[in-house]
Amino acid sequence: MKGFWIALIISGVLSFPIMRLLAMMKSKQTVSQFAPEGHQAKQGTPTMGGLIILAGVLGAIPFVKWNASIVPIVVLIVLFALIGFVDDYVIPKLMPGKRGLGWKQKILMQGVAAVIPLLMGGISTPISIGIGTFVILFFANAYNFSDGLDGLAGTLLLGLLLGMFGLSSATNLTGLAHSTSLIFIILGAAIPFLFWNAPKAKVFMGDVGSLPIGALLGGFWFLSTFPNPNITYQPVSGVTFDPHSIQYATDPIFYVAFALWSLMMVAELVPVPLQIASVKLRKKKIFPYTPIHHAFEKAGWPETRVVFVFALLQLIFSMAAITIVAFAR
């Protein structure tokens, strides 16, 4: 809990000057003309509020006991935050009228930003690097899409962190050293952001926050389950493995639990490329709107109801994932 309190204090204290800094930088939300009705009211709301969370996370990590195994995660956070900053601020300032990076540029930069920490974490084979990059990019962009409603990204994060803590504890995975400390650090840093992001939102997370947090969610699990030979690992059910082999995998029940925990991220991301492909190939939409939370708004749900239901579902999925692993043991 030491990391939690340090992160909470750092984020809480720095949230006020960060909000003033964002106002001075004129970092404002640009709402698409195709956004659901009512979202035009969010035009001009400050963005890049994820800096509040990053300040707490990066500020608290040096004060807790840690070793070299957490360095890849720190590098992952920093690299994805830099991409987010370029997308949120640099491109719109240098190229007025552009909302940010093109999707091809963004994916390429994210791929490089994922591979570097994976190599640092002991991931060396092309297949494992490819899978790890996919997992990190999947979660980075899925969580990025969730930053669209007042309070949605923050409340989803609370449920995700609960699942991370429960699964980490239940599986005894120690691939990422002091993983519970890291989870509590993120939780502490997220609370002040939730204060500012609660309806009516005074700031949005922006790519500078959502991309590194999403990347962290994916990188956490991948670096925990694909071992670094310099770290001692404890599989779920005492599975025998060679710590120098990248073929190591935990008990299959863990992956069932992991899939359950990930369902809301799947729901946020998968409909987007499906919608784009359908419109281009069939000239028809599959969903009324994407990301999927906007589809519920289109159906007449108030924004607060969408956020509540999505956060509740994430909590349920996290608890179900923890329960499955706990009973399997």
318: in domain = no
139-160: average pLDDT = 92
Instruction: Write down the pLDDT at residue 249.
Output: 46
- Burial code (b: 16+ CB inside 10 Å, e: under 16) for 309-319 equals ebbeebbebbb
Q: With b meaning 16 or more CB within 10 Å and e meaning fewer, what string describes 138-149?
A: bbbbbbbbbbbb
| 250 pLDDT above the threshold of 60 | no
106 part of a folded domain? yes
Asked whether residue 162 is domain-assigned, the answer is: yes
Residue 324 belongs to a domain: no
Evaluate if residue 143 carries a pLDDT over 80: yes
pLDDT band at 29 (very low <50, low <70, confident <90, very high): low
Structure token pair of residue 225:
């389950």
- Please state, in angstroms and rounded to a whole number, the distance separating the CA atoms of residues 200 and 306: 14
* 30-77 pLDDT, tens digit each: 655 555 666 556 666 788 899 999 999 999 988 876 666 678 888 999
pLDDT higher than threshold 60 for residue 242: no
- Residue labelled with tokens 């670096």: 223
For residue 162, give both structure tokens.
């609960």
The predicted-structure confidence for 307-324, as pLDDT tens digits, reads as follows: 999 999 999 999 999 888
Based on the structure, what is the number of domains in the chain? 1
Residue 231: the pLDDT is 45
Residue 283 belongs to a domain: no
Q: Summarize the confidence of residues 94-111 as an average pLDDT.
A: 84
Written as six digits, the tokens of 56 are 């707490």
| pTM for this prediction | 0.86
Higher-pLDDT residue of 81 and 246 is 81
Residue 246 domain-assigned? yes
- In the chain, the percentage of residues whose pLDDT exceeds 70 is 81
**What is the pLDDT, as a whole number, of residue 44?**
66
- Identify whether the C-beta of residue 77 lies closer than 8 Å to the C-beta of residue 118: no
In a domain, 294, yes or no: no
Q: What is the domain extent for residue 147?
A: 2-15+45-251
In a domain, 82, yes or no: yes
- Per-residue pLDDT band for 85 (boundaries 50, 70, 90) equals very high
* Higher pLDDT among residues 43 and 78, named by residue: 78
**Distance, first Cα to last Cα, the chain:** 26
How much is the pLDDT for 192? 95
H or E element in which residue 12 lies = helix 2-25
